[in-house]
Amino acid sequence: MQKLNRNMALLLSLLMMLTLCLPAAGFAAAGVYEGSGDSLIGGVDAITVQVTLDEADAIIGIEVILNNDTPGISDPAIAGIPAAIVEYQSIEVDAIAGATMTSDAIVAAVEAALVAAGVNVDNYKVEVVKEVVKEADVEMEADVVIIGAGGAGLAAAVTAHQNGASVIVLEKLNKVGGNTILAGGALNAVDDRSEVAVANDDSVEWHYTQTMNGGDNEGDTLLVHTLVSNAWDGVQWLKELGMGFQEGTFTVTGGMWPRAHKPSDPVGTGFFKTYMNYIDNNENIEVMLNTTADEITVDADGRIGGVIATGETGNTIAVKANNGVIVATGGFAKNVEMRVEHNTIWADLGESVLSTNHTGATGDGIVMAEAVGANLVQMGNIQLLPLGDPVTGSLSGNIEQDVEKRIFINKEGNRFVDEGERRDVMTSALFEQTDNYMWIVVDSHSYPTGDVKNNFNESADELVAAGRAVKGETIEELAENMGVPVENLVAAVEDFNAHVETKEADAFGRTLYSEKLDMGPFYAGARVPTVHHTMGGIQINVDAQVLNVNGDVIPGLYAAGEVTGGIHGTNRLGGNALTDILVFGRIAGESAAESK
């Protein structure tokens, strides 16, 4: 009996020791826990994190171990959100501007990891109060000051530096990229001597003619000649800087001809990898993020003197420009009030019409330039695309690969427009369809396997899994998954395939064909109209110098990219935007570097 009692006592002691070692209910043991979060871009479980907790349940580390969102675009959120959660011990942190969906996915993933850890998640939902200590005001100086770190701004920065100038770039957001990093990457350029151009019957003059005609001949002839004749040299310059391009050319939506070059890196990330590699490896060229330009200054002699900006903590940053200031702030597609004020083409450009653009496309540079006398031209020329995501308006999720191998289908299962037409023509036709809604239909000629990526680094399988596309082994199955009448879709595909065979214009006037839609599985993605590009803006000459209302040059002021007007006319050809920012960004950089 005594031996039994001793054994019972030993067992009780062991049980007590084990109980003391276990965490109390609602508390986590120190360790690493995993969680995932969904994203509209990357789909289900797009972001996976590992969260490290210490003995006091404090979050001491967060590592993103899987990121299916778009590289480059998601980078600021990947870097900023985990650090902010650790700093404030709260998942109630602000989303990163321009990477909201990735930010939300990271927060959801961290919350899932906390749930897996067994802690009380409410303890990590405390209000974040940030103490901002205003830094001292700063005075700076450079030969060339650039407002905006998008594609035009950084092309100008690198070029100005290559031409011997010191450079400071001011960017109001917390990242470089602008609209360029969101783009599909298509860049129109013709090398008249290439076999590709000869095979496509393409030429610089044909590019010029199509650009002029595509904008109803409202483009400035000298600017358009400058655009098309310097495009190929710009591509060569990018290659010399280390940027890669895929072989061949293709026709981008609204591009009218197969002259678009596709970068090797997804979306617009290749441009900024290239530019930032140059900037990071050279002196006297600097990019200042979270720095908002407020005013362009004018010296007593009437020459542009520099820029007054506000830093991240609210301090004033005054930057003197020895040679000149380049405005490269992009357009105003995200400024609803501004686009409604200037709209002359569309029935409504209010809040209900979404935009492809990044959050910073609010027309700031146009306002600042006008304040110092810049003339504004063609502000009513605003381009819409028929390719917006139904939820966000963004271009991501667009399932097409090129114009020749896809068709547009409305809710009734019918085609309704020439899919190789101008962007304004296609968008106007889409506005006439039920709910302004269509499907883009492709087959396995576009996606030989489910892991083939689109122009936005998203695979067909990922788009289907995220609910942003549907799939069918047959056209009949695809129609059922789209929710359109089977007989109508079958008839539309059969008619399209017949014209692919004959290469004759169909009832809509379409003449761009390559492959039949006859190879399953088939895919379809939903799209709606979206505001894409504002063709109006600051008037410039062929040297990217800004002109005043009398047509005279404003000394020391330059502009490049979507902030300018007069190049594209009423409608911009697809693939010409990246050509524009490259060509005139380089011209602005060279002109400003040489100005005194």
What confidence tens digit (pLDDT) does each residue in 105-148 have?
Answer: 999 999 999 999 999 999 999 999 888 899 999 999 999 999 99
Q: Is the peptide bond before 529 cis (omega within 30 degrees of 0)?
A: no
pLDDT score at 74: 87
pTM listed for this prediction: 0.87
Residue 303 is a catalytic residue: no
pLDDT score at 25: 40
pLDDT score at 17: 43
Tens of pLDDT, residue by residue over 510-569, are 999 999 999 999 999 999 999 999 999 999 999 999 999 999 999 999 999 999 999 999
pLDDT score at 26: 44
When the pLDDT of each residue in the chain is averaged and rounded to a whole number, the result is 92
How far, in Å, CA of 244 to CA of 262, rounded? 9
Tokens for 104, please give them. Answer: 């939300």
Q: Which one is catalytic: 339, 422, 423, 510?
A: 423
Where is average pLDDT lowest: 69-83, 201-215, 267-281? 69-83
DSSP state of 252: P
User: Do 316 and 354 form a contact (C-beta atoms < 8 A)?
Assistant: no
DSSP state of 573: P
The pLDDT-based confidence of 18 (bands split at 50, 70, 90) is: very low
Tens of pLDDT, residue by residue over 569-584, are 999 999 999 999 999 9
**Which residues, listed in sequence order, are joined to residue 525 by a DSSP beta bridge?**
440
Tens of pLDDT, residue by residue over 301-348, are 999 999 999 999 999 999 999 999 999 999 999 999 999 999 999 999
3-state helix, strand, coil in the chain (%, to 5): 35, 25, 45
Nearest to 508 by CA among 488, 489, 492, 520: 492
pLDDT value at 9 more than 60:
no
pLDDT value at 10 more than 90:
no
The pLDDT-based confidence of 409 (bands split at 50, 70, 90) is: very high
Q: What is the mean pLDDT of residues 95-100?
A: 83
Residues 6+ apart with CB under 8 A from 8: none
Tens of pLDDT, residue by residue over 134-143, are 999 999 999 9
**Which residues, listed in sequence order, are joined to residue 538 by a DSSP beta bridge?**
376, 564
How far, in Å, CA of 463 to CA of 443, rounded? 14
Residues 6+ apart with CB under 8 A from 382: 333, 339, 342, 343, 345, 346, 349, 531, 533, 534, 535, 536
Instruction: Give the domain 145-328+343-381+535-594 fold.
Output: FAD/NAD(P)-binding domain (3.50.50)
pLDDT value at 473 more than 80:
yes
The correct answer on CATH 3.40.50.2300 for the domain covering 31-124 is: no
pLDDT value at 6 more than 60:
no
Tens of pLDDT, residue by residue over 291-301, are 999 999 999 99
The correct answer on CATH 3.90.700.10 for the domain covering 387-530 is: yes
DSSP state of 532: E
% of the chain beyond a pLDDT of 70: 95
- Where exactly are the structural domains of the chain? 31-124, 145-328+343-381+535-594, 387-530
- The 3-state secondary structure of 100-167 reads HHHHHHHHHHHHHHHHHHCCCHHHHCCCCCCCCCCCCCEEEEEEEEEECCCHHHHHHHHHHHHCCCCE
**167 phi and psi angles, rounded to 5 deg:** -135, 135
**127 phi and psi angles, rounded to 5 deg:** -65, 135
Give Cα separations from 525 to 212, 236, 272, 318 (angstroms).
Answer: 32, 35, 29, 48
pLDDT score at 197: 86
Q: What is the mean pLDDT of residues 363-373?
A: 98
pLDDT score at 596: 65
pLDDT score at 12: 46
